Structure 1
Amino acid sequence: MVSSPTVLKSSIDLSLKGEFYNIGKHQEPPFSPAAFYLPPQNNNMLYIGMSAFTVNSAAFVYNNAGVLSLSITDDMIPKSSPIRLNTKTFGVIIPQIAKQFPGLMMKLLVKMEKTPTLTFEPNNATVQATTTVTAFAIQPNSTLSPLFVLNLEASVSARMFVSEMKLAAAVTLNKMDLTLDKSNVGDFQVSALNSILQGVFKLVVIPTVNVQLAKGYPLPTIGKMKLMNTQLDVLKDYILIGTDVQFS
């Protein structure tokens, strides 16, 4: 509770601070929750407002724990895709890769460089992420030969929904911008890699993220609650969940 409950004639307003934190080391995120106020509503029994602070605190914890990274290999890409993680595919755009590392499979390491940031605007939830993409050639003895490192700025849209007693989401890629950070295979046009990496993100990264987001995060409950007639609206700086409640 961040303030005393406000008791009105037909409702009770509770002001709560919802935050994710590492149970081993509770570290406050370097940003503060913004105040917001729920609009008058009387169609449902319960209304829950959740600010972007709560979601961003989760991103802060996960990023500090080093879990917001993903290793991508060719076996993770659908067999029907023309995009393959090998030096032949990348050699079409960067010929020196095919010459120096002929016939080898590749591995990509996608790692967050800064904590992703979620913003809420009316009917729109957007995540901005800054990552690095490190490409390796996989040698026959399984050692990794570094090829290049890219800086990647990505924007994704998030569709949020309530599943049972959990808040879940699914994301889609809006755009991504690439710049070259380091190359072990000489200079090349980074923009030429955009279509390949967009394909990798849409085929592997986004589906992997969505599997985790679909598991959902528990909403605050009282006793054995069941939500009914639930609706979710994305508003400025927060989401509003209106629902009826059944106790068992």
Structure 2
Amino acid sequence: MKPLAGALPSLLLRLLLTSTPGALGTNPGLVARITDKGLQYVAREGSVALQKELLRITLPDFTGDFKIKPFGRGHYEFYSLSIHSCELRGSALRPLPGQGLSLSISDSFIRVEGEWKARKAFVSRPETRVQVKLHGSFDVQVKGITISVSLVLGREPSGRPTITASGCSSHIQDVEVDISGGLGWLLNLFHNQIESKFRRVLESKVCEMLQNSVTSDLQPYLQTLPVTTEIDSFAGIDYSLMEAPRATAQMLDVMFKGEIFSRDHYSPVTFLAPVMSLPEQQDRMVYFAVSDYVFNTASLVYHESGYLNFSITDDMVPQGSNIRLTTKSFRPFIPRLARLYPNMNLELQGAMASAPSLNFSPGNLSSTPLMEIEGFVLLPSSVKEPVFRLGVATNVSAMLTFNTSRITGFLKPGKIQVELKESKVGVFNVELLEALLNYYILNTLYPKVNEKLAEGFPLPLLKDIQLYDPVLEIHKIVFIYSSERGREQAGS
């Protein structure tokens, strides 16, 4: 656990699954939902962090006077105050609809130790004045502590989250002071006054610590959350908040843009994210709802970058293949090609006709990419002469997988179907070409794409948080990824 003064609030928003935000009326591509069960887990873990933080509080010295017959007036001072132990119980974190979160802690206990000293002047004769100084130790039992603080969540124009403490209150039910030492019995006569001062000091210090933590530690920590994250040399993902985190009666929703963009040039996509309707489930701690918008913006980026383009030349065909990319090999089914271009090599260049769309249906992910493949003759002059154009269609099923912080995927290809679109060498049967393309796409193109999908893209998690025990559900336009809970990495 990181030893800083914002440990508790940091834990709160580390699980809030944290370009310019979209225009008004657009929908998020990704929504993170923290349920009541998740918030209570955070509250329990946070109270442990708060206990450690309370032990580091520096309490101020305080002084007072005592007066008792027949001794008269004296002066005391309490110093070197430190919290020796504490136990926070009954922690709860609840959504404040329209605002953020409310943290409450009740039925808690603190023990304070320190030193005291007192002085009293006595006059034995008119000309004689004697100053008596004594000291000792004390022990304070502070019981029935309740703490309540409101955390208002917001969003900067840049899309980063913000947090402020709108109010804090603490109350101490009972304070018991035990004073030992030479005049301890005397100071114990004023325990009500002393206990009242301890109560005021501790109540103000607890709230001061929480408010300072939010301002000086948690808010700067949230500012380090990048609104864009690099995926690879081609693409990044925009995780700016669309609006302030939305608190309802039992949960907290965080809306992220979730748009994948080109790192070379940013241009707005021509389609909007669909409206997502999350199931009203509460049995898991954290839910991520990711719409097809996220994947289809990725498809657009990689399509425009040319990543999905390919070419096949004869040296890429297996040595034992009966089909070569030569005009001689094509003689049996394209006779005119061999007559016009005798003993020359061929090259096939393929590209997606448009960016493939990933289709969500209950329990299934699929895509129907359309490719165009153009055949060229490699002339002796090194000029590429176009001779035919093919249309290629296939059905692809997709599988989504996860690790502790990333969404990954895998494509399972179906058999391709080839259609002759245009030919400068006459009409010909495309069956042999279909077999060659099936081999290449299955053994070269799909492994290349799956290698990229295996890298995946990161979920919007703040530093040192991992999710585990995931469950995946696929709906019409969205998949729901839920986790039993998040936890900090070892050593954080």
Structure 2 residue aligned with 1:49, among 258, 268, 289? 289
Q: Residues 246 and 78 from structure 1, CA distance in 2 versus in 1: closer, same or farther, beyond 3 angstroms? A: farther
Q: Establish whether residue 245 from structure 1 lines up as the match of residue 486 from structure 2.
A: yes
Mapped partners of 1:108, 1:146: distance in 2: 10
Which digits, 9 at most, give the CA deviation of each residue in 1:47-82, with x for residues without a partner? 111100111112222323333311223444555665
Paired AA for residue 488 in structure 2: F
Structure 2 residue aligned with 1:117, among 345, 353, 357? 357
Structure 1 residue aligned with 2:453, among 202, 213, 216? 213
Higher relative contact order (CA 8 A, sep 6+): 1
> 2:299: which partner in 1?
59
**Secondary structure of 1:125 counterpart:** strand
Mapped partners of 1:89, 1:125: distance in 2: 39
**Aligned partners of 1:163 and 1:216 also within 8 Å:** no
**Secondary structure of 1:180 counterpart:** strand
Structure 1 residue aligned with 2:388, among 132, 148, 163? 148
Q: TM-score scaled by structure 2?
A: 0.46
- Superposition deviation, residue 11 in structure 1: 2.8
Mapped partners of 2:289, 2:413: distance in 1: 26
**Secondary structure of 2:331 counterpart:** helix
> 2:245: which partner in 1?
5
Q: Residues 92 and 221 from structure 1, CA distance in 2 versus in 1: closer, same or farther, beyond 3 angstroms? A: farther
Which digits, 9 at most, give the CA deviation of each residue in 1:87-109, with x for residues without a partner? 45443432333444455443221
Which digits, 9 at most, give the CA deviation of each residue in 1:190-211, with x for residues without a partner? 4553333223222222222212
Consecutive unaligned residues in structure 2, runs of 5 or more: 1-240
> 1:178: which partner in 2?
418
Percentage identity across aligned positions? 29
Paired AA for residue 245 in structure 1: G
**Secondary structure of 2:260 counterpart:** coil
**Secondary structure of 2:256 counterpart:** coil
Highest CA radius of gyration, 1 or 2? 2
Aligned length: 248
Structure 2 residue aligned with 1:198, among 438, 443, 462? 438
Farther off after superposition, 63-72 or 204-213:
63-72
> 1:136: which partner in 2?
376
Q: Cα RMSD over matched residues? A: 2.6
Map residues 58-137 of structure 1 onto 2, 5 A cutoff.
58-78=298-318, 84-137=324-377
Consecutive unaligned residues in structure 1, runs of 5 or more: none
Q: Residues 227 and 83 from structure 1, CA distance in 2 versus in 1: closer, same or farther, beyond 3 angstroms? A: farther
Q: Establish whether residue 33 from structure 1 lines up as the match of residue 267 from structure 2.
A: no
**Secondary structure of 1:91 counterpart:** coil
Which digits, 9 at most, give the CA deviation of each residue in 1:17-76, with x for residues without a partner? 210123443322111111112213334332111100111112222323333311223444
